[in-house]
Amino acid sequence: MILFLAKGVNAQGEWNNWYFGIKAGLSFQNGNPLSVPYSEIQCSIITASISDSSGQTLFYAHGFVVYNRLHQYMINGTDLMGGQIQGCQPVVAFENLSLENAYYIFTVNEYTTQPPPITPTAGLRYNIVDMGLDNGNGAIIEGEKNIPVPGGENMSTCITATRQQNNHDTWVIGRSVATGDDFFVAIPVNKGAVGSRITSNSTINCNNGLIQPKHIKINYNGDKLVCLYVSSSSQSEFCTFNKSTGTVTPLFKFSPLIGNPYSAEFSLDGKKLYILEHRSNYDDLIVQYDATLTDLAAFMNSAT
């Protein structure tokens, strides 16, 4: 799955290359999907991929390593502080509009109050890539690596991003899970500056990290959001998102028909929501819901 934002509405090639885990990838450079078996990502976590307007790969990343267009470690691109849990969503990348040929990479780790050897909490952090470095192969700028985001200390496991209402600036959206700090969080990134967080109440109590957000997805238009959780009840939240204010408004909680929710995606027009549900013996199921509905019963009855 790809997680990045093209610079403008007329961009063409930025979406052409998708690098997954397990050394898999797809290219749409010639219009049709073509397998690209040279991804260096071996783990099964969600990734971010960046290409230029002509569709040439610039870099791709998971939560702790960035690879350049040559499929080599980017200079200063190792030891990022994103999560490593299977299926988590620890990274987003998008253009830094205050610098020429520069990009943000935001990462988030899993929140935990457990002692070592459990991975310590790193929260939300960002890195800045300068594509002018290393002969055009890019590098993370010295001193601009693993920068903590104020207000993101308790964010955990998954993040996403969308354009603000002006279609220029960006929201980075995730979930804070600590006791007393149990909210949806939206971080504005405006003209290259990382701003103060906006918090919104959730209908699911994460109980100091005992319940973890698994996957968060926002639709292409940026006005609908779903958050999947790891819990005994396998509940999820269906929400709206305000691109002007950064506020999340939960509409209802729901549980999958069968199994545990693993990942989600909206259709391009935002009218359908697809959820991958894990069942026993890896007999997984993709369920389609009507994302135009705002009533729980009608939403669940729309499942196919």
The C-alpha atoms of residue 10 and residue 106 are separated, in whole angstroms, by 24
Give the per-residue pLDDT at 118: 44
Give the per-residue pLDDT at 45: 77
Joined tokens for residue 212 = 């973890």
Q: How many other C-beta atoms are found inside a 10 Å radius of the C-beta of residue 106?
A: 29
Query: pTM of the predicted model, to two decimals?
Result: 0.91
* Residue with the two structure tokens 């390593």: 65
* Residue with the two structure tokens 């993040």: 159
Give the per-residue pLDDT at 115: 56
CB proximity list for 155: less than 8 A, separation 6 or greater? 108, 111, 123, 124, 174, 175, 176, 177, 185
* Residue with the two structure tokens 């506020």: 247
Joined tokens for residue 141 = 């700028």
Considering only CA atoms, give the Rg of the chain.
18
Joined tokens for residue 154 = 């308790």
Taking only the tens of pLDDT, the chain with its 304 residues reads 434 444 433 346 888 899 887 788 999 988 889 998 788 888 777 889 999 999 999 999 988 999 999 999 999 999 999 977 666 889 999 999 889 999 999 999 887 766 554 444 789 999 999 999 999 999 999 999 999 999 999 998 899 999 999 999 999 999 999 889 999 999 999 987 999 999 999 999 988 778 889 899 999 999 999 999 987 777 899 999 999 999 999 999 998 776 678 889 999 999 999 998 877 666 788 999 999 999 999 999 999 9
What is the three-state SS of the chain? CCCEECCCCCCCHHHCEEECCCCCEEECCCCCCEECCCCCCCCCCCCEEEECCCCCEEEEECCCEEEECCCCEEEEEECCCCCCCCCCECEEEEECCCCCCEEEEEEECCCCCCCCCCCCCCCEEEEEEECCCHHHCCEECCCCCCEECCCCCCEEEEEEEEECCCCCCEEEEEEEEECCEEEEEEEEEECCEECCCEEEECCCCCCCCCCEEEEEEECCCCCEEEEEEECCCCCEEEEEECCCCCCEEEEEEECCCCCEEEEEEECCCCCEEEEEEECHHHCCEEEEEECCCCCHHHHHHCCC
245 touches 198 (CB < 8 A): yes
